[in-house]
Structures are given as structure tokens and as C-alpha cells.
């Protein structure tokens, strides 16, 4: 029994009608990479590199970062890893960087914006990532992109560093987590190889509800039709440009989110490690046709509660 369970875990998630969805892991450390593989993760869809920068007195240098990234790449043994460049600011504060206080940190210098303000940190990180890319399939992803100029600038810096360290070509992608990125998705898609939808931030910025707000956070549900419409626009633009779309926010690992996102055309779900087996099992139990029908109805719902009720209905029918 145990053995079959284990083997099942490593099989891909293919729907009843033969559609494959990749289920990858969100990780924050090198030890997580091994756990992700053991849980049946088909790679890492989001490595939050800022975790290497938290709870310490100074930023990790190039060698320390290189060692950490290399360990992850090795643990994955040929499976791909998406290393997201520093996403500091907003809710993630790093005292030793002495960043100026902001009245609205979530609308301030965070993510890629901070990488441009502190290009020294960005270049050091890119050097470490690109050196690690020589050991296995590494992809680079930029957080909080809001404009076309930002992707171009990030890519130009990455390319310069890539030549300096003598690394080969590396696939680059961006997080889609700001409404402007959704609306510009056709333009952005021409600059990168993939998108990953950050439903945590996309929900907060779409509904204008702070993701940590004690009163509002429960209402900021990522399966809200407004957010699903954002996902729909993103997938359509990506398809036209011929690039793939993943999702790595909390909603990707929630049954209602996993099904609606799949129905909208997201083909990679990056989720918390313990959730990997159940999301794979869920995807195997449904058909893409049903998920698509669900997604179409979800887009027309009045609110998130209605979407969740639809999903419950669908799951009770499929058993």
C-alpha cells in the first residue's frame, strides 16, 4: 500500500482526458528542494530567494548565495527550478538595508523596483544564480513587474552579468502580480519565456485589499471573479505569444483555485510542499473539459463564495 502510494506520487498529474498540468513546489531553502522532490514535485516553480536575506545582520555574498542555489539545483537532480530574484519591500522588511520608511510599502520600492535602486545587490544575486545555472536547469523570474521598461532593464542587466560569468542562455520570466502587468501582458510576453501568476499580490492589487489586513484579508480571495478575469486575460495574451503560464500564489494550492486556474489554461501550479500530492490527485480526478466549463461559469459569478460553491458542486459529482 505504502509503496503504491509512493509510486503514484511521482507520476505526472494528467486529467481524465489526457491534459497534463505540472505540479511544482514553492520553496524557501536548500533543504526544501529535497523535500519537494520527495513529495512528488516536478521541479520548483518559485524559490523565494529573499528568505536567504532575512533574519541576519548583512546580506549574503555571492559565494554564499551560489552555494545555496547550487545545492538546490543538485537536489532537484535535473528537474527545473525557478529562482525569483529578490522580492524585498512590502511585507518583507530587511532592517540592515536601511531602506527609507514608506507610507504605503505595498505601493513602494519593492521587488524589481528595489533591485534597480540597489543594483549592487541585484548584480551579486544574478552572478550567483547564473553560476548555479551551469549545474542544471535554472530559470530566472523577476517579481513585481509593472511596466515594459522594467522587464527590459532587468533582462539587459541579466544579460550583461551572464556574459561576465560566462553562463549560457537562461530562460527568464516574470511574475504577473500587478494589474498593469495583466493589461500589458501581450507586450510583456514578447520579452520573456514564461509568466507565473502571483495570486497573493494580484488579489491584493486587483481588489485593493491589503493581503495582511485584519479585517479585509479574508475577503481578498484569489478565486474572486475579478482575479479570475485577470488570469483569463493573462493566459489569452500568453497563448497568442506562444509562452506558458504558471501560478505560484496560495490559490494554486487550493482545490477551487487549482481547478479554476487549470480551466483557464494555466499549465503549471506551484504549491506548498505538503499540498503537492493532493493537488496532483485532484487534477487526475477531473477532466480538462469539466475544468474549462467550471472556469467559464466562475468568470460570470458574483463573488468568490459563489465560485467556491460551484467547485463544491463539481467535486461532489465527480466523487
Residue 138 CB, nearest approach to ligand PEP (Å): 18
Dist. CA 76–CA 216, nearest whole Å: 38
Q: Tell me which stretch binds ligand PEP (CB under 6 A): 15-23, 194-202, 286-294, 303-311.
A: 194-202
Q: Is the dihedral of CA 297, 294, 205, 190 positive or negative?
A: negative
Residue selected from 22, 40, 48, 301 as contacting ligand PEP according to rule CB under 6 A: 48
Interaction residues for Mg ion, span 164-193 (CB under 5 A): 177
Q: Is 224 in the site for ligand PEP (CB under 6 A)?
A: no
Dist. CA 30–CA 273, nearest whole Å: 13
Dist. CA 197–CA 105, nearest whole Å: 21
Residue 198 CB, nearest approach to Mg ion (Å): 4
Q: Taking Cα atoms as reference points, which of 96, 4, 80, 76 lies closest to residue 33?
A: 76
Q: Is 248 in the site for ligand PEP (CB under 6 A)?
A: yes
Interaction residues for ligand PEP, span 196-215 (CB under 6 A): 198-201
Give the length of the chain.
319
Residue selected from 22, 177, 191, 268 as contacting ligand PEP according to rule CB under 6 A: 177
Copy the grid coordinates of residue 118: 540597489
Dist. CA 217–CA 232, nearest whole Å: 23
Other CB atoms within a 10 A radius of the CB of residue 236 amount to: 15
Identity of the residue, 167 or 228, whose beta carbon is nearer to ligand PEP in the bound complex: 228
Q: Which runs of consecutive H residues, i.e. helices, occur in 135-224?
A: 148-165, 179-183, 185-189, 199-207
Q: Tell me which stretch binds ligand PEP (CB under 6 A): 101-109, 149-157, 195-203, 301-309.
A: 195-203
Other CB atoms within a 10 A radius of the CB of residue 164 amount to: 12
| Interaction pattern, residues 74-103, with Mg ion; x per rule: CB under 5 A | ------------------------------
Residue selected from 249, 253, 257, 263 as contacting ligand PEP according to rule CB under 6 A: 249
> Which residue ranges make up the site for ligand PEP (CB under 6 A)?
46, 48, 87, 177, 198-201, 248-249
- Residues of the shown chain interacting with Mg ion in the complex, contacts defined by CB under 5 A: 177, 198, 201
Amino acid at each position: 500500500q505504502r509503496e503504491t502510494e509512493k509510486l503514484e506520487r511521482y507520476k505526472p498529474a494528467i486529467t481524465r482526458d489526457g491534459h497534463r498540468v505540472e505540479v511544482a513546489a514553492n520553496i524557501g531553502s536548500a533543504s526544501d528542494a529535497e523535500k519537494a522532490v520527495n513529495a512528488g514535485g516536478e521541479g520548483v516553480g518559485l524559490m523565494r530567494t529573499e528568505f536567504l536575506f532575512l533574519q541576519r545582520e548583512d546580506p549574503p555574498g555571492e559565494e554564499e548565495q551560489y552555494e545555496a542555489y547550487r545545492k538546490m539545483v543538485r537536489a532537484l537532480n535535473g528537474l527545473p527550478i525557478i529562482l525569483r530574484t529578490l522580492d524585498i519591500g512590502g511585507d518583507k522588511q530587511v532592517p540592515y538595508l536601511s531602506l527609507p520608511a514608506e507610507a504605503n510599502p505595498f505601493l513602494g520600492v519593492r521587488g524589481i523596483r528595489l533591485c534597480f535602486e540597489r543594483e549592487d545587490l541585484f548584480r551579486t544575486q544574478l552572478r550567483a544564480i547564473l553560476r548555479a545555472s551551469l549545474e542544471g536547469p535554472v530559470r530566472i523570474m523577476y517579481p513585481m513587474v509593472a511596466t515594459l521598461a522594467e522587464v527590459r532593464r532587468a533582462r539587459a542587466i541579466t544579460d550583461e552579468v551572464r556574459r561576465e560569468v560566462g553562463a549560457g542562455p537562461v530562460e527568464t520570466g516574470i511574475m504577473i502580480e500587478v494589474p498593469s502587468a495583466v493589461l500589458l501582458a501581450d507586450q510583456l510576453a514578447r520579452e520573456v519565456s514564461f509568466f507565473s501568476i502571483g495570486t497573493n499580490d494580484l488579489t491584493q492589487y486587483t481588489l485593493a485589499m491589503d493581503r495582511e489586513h485584519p479585517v479585509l484579508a479574508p475577503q481578498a480571495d484569489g478565486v474572486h471573479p475579478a482575479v479570475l478575469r485577470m488570469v483569463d486575460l493573462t493566459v489569452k495574451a500568453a497563448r497568442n505569444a506562444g509562452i506558458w503560464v504558471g501560478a505560484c500564489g496560495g490559490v494554486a494550492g487550493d482545490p477551487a483555485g487549482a481547478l479554476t486556474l487549470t480551466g483557464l489554461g494555466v499549465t503549471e501550479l506551484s504549491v506548498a510542499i505538503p499540498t503537492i500530492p493532493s493537488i496532483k490527485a485532484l487534477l487526475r480526478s477531473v477532466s480538462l473539459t469539466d475544468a474549462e466549463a467550471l472556469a467559464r461559469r466562475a468568470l460570470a459569478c458574483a463573488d468568490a463564495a459563489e465560485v467556491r460553491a460551484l467547485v463544491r458542486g463539481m467535486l461532489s459529482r465527480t466523487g
